[in-house]
C-alpha cells in the first residue's frame, strides 16, 4: 500500500457542544437570509405607501385588520431583534474593545427591547382600533 493516506483511520473528532460564538454566527446568517426577503418586501411597501397616501388615515386604512401584514411584520421584527444586536456586539468587541460579560447582557437587553417595541409598533399599526 503506497498511496498516501491509505491505511490510516481518520482521527476521532471529539464531540463537543458548539461554542456560543458559533450559534451567534449561525443566528446572524439565518436572520440575514430572512431579512433579505423582509427588507425587500419592506422597501416595496415603503414606495407603495409613499405613492398611495402618507396620512394617518390612509396608512391605517390600509393596515388595520390586515392579518397577513401583521404576520409579516412580526417575523420581520423577530429577525431584526436577532440580527441587529449580534451585529452591534461584533462592533463593540472590535471597535470599542468591549469584551466583558457585561456586553452579552447589554446585547440581550437590546434584543428584548427591540422585540418588545417592534411588536408594539406592529400592533399599533395593524391591530389597535382608532
Taking the alpha carbons at both ends of the chain, their separation in whole angstroms is 81
Instruction: Determine contact, residues 85/114, Cβ cutoff 8 Å.
Output: yes
The SS3 of residue 106 is: helix
Rule CB under 8 A: say whether 59 interacts with another protein. Answer: yes
With respect to another protein, which residue has the nearer C-beta, 7 or 107?
Answer: 107
With respect to another protein, which residue has the nearer C-beta, 10 or 127?
Answer: 127
Vertex 102, ends 107 and 117: CA angle to 5°?
A: 30
Applying CB under 8 A, among 41, 47, 108, 112 the residue interacting with another protein is 47
With respect to another protein, which residue has the nearer C-beta, 7 or 129?
Answer: 129
Instruction: Determine contact, residues 75/38, Cβ cutoff 8 Å.
Output: yes
Q: Which helix (H) or strand (E) holds 115?
A: helix 101-126
Rule CB under 8 A: say whether 27 interacts with another protein. Answer: no
Q: Which residues bind another protein (CB under 8 A)?
A: 29, 32-33, 35-36, 39-40, 42-43, 46-47, 50-51, 54-57, 59-60, 80, 84, 87-88, 91, 113-114, 117-118, 120-125, 128, 130
Amino acid at each position: 500500500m503506497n498511496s498516501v493516506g491509505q491505511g490510516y483511520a481518520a482521527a476521532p473528532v471529539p464531540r463537543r457542544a458548539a461554542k456560543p460564538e458559533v450559534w451567534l454566527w449561525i443566528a446572524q446568517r439565518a436572520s440575514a437570509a430572512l431579512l433579505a426577503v423582509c427588507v425587500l418586501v419592506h422597501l416595496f411597501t415603503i414606495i407603495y405607501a409613499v405613492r398611495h397616501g402618507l396620512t394617518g388615515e390612509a396608512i391605517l386604512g390600509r393596515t388595520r385588520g390586515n392579518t397577513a401584514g401583521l404576520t409579516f411584520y412580526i417575523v420581520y421584527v423577530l429577525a431584526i431583534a436577532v440580527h441587529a444586536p449580534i451585529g452591534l456586539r461584533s462592533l463593540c468587541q472590535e471597535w470599542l474593545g468591549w469584551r466583558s460579560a457585561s456586553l452579552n447582557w447589554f446585547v440581550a437587553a437590546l434584543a428584548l427591547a427591540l422585540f418588545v417595541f417592534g411588536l408594539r409598533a406592529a400592533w399599533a399599526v395593524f391591530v389597535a382600533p382608532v
